[in-house]
Amino acid sequence: MLASHALPPRGDSALSRTHEELPRRRDRLEYSEEVTPPGSAGWGTRVVAAILAAVWILAGTVCALFAIRDRRWLLLALAILAIWYGLVWLRVVREGRRLRWPEGLLPWRRS
């Protein structure tokens, strides 16, 4: 048998230890103030989300004005969707985290 395939001595194996003797993962992790929770957005994400919100809301408003003036109702429906999408990005800025699907459907409602 090759030395690289040899099993460790029986007493030193992690498999021979009981569950209580093994170190726990949460005990090994060190948390600090700088660690952000999963799903939270940093300042860079908030800046990008604010720019996207402004662009989508402004484009939707301008599109809605042209749609009303020219009586193009399909264009008005697209403008409403653009404003809604801008509101979703505005909520990302306000909440400071990525949204889940139910939160994105009604961006003006608190979850």
Q: Which residues pair with 97 in a beta bridge?
A: 40
Q: Where are the domains of the chain?
A: 40-98
Judged by average pLDDT, the poorest of 23-27, 83-87, 103-107 is 23-27
CA–CA gap between residue 100 and residue 95 (Å, rounded): 12
If you average pLDDT over residues 19-34, what whole number do you get?
A: 55
| Inter-residue contact 88 to 72 (CB < 8 Å) | no
| pLDDT confidence of residue 59 | 97
Please give the mean pLDDT across all residues of the chain.
Answer: 76
Secondary-structure percent of the chain, ordered helix, strand, coil, rounded to 5: 60, 0, 35
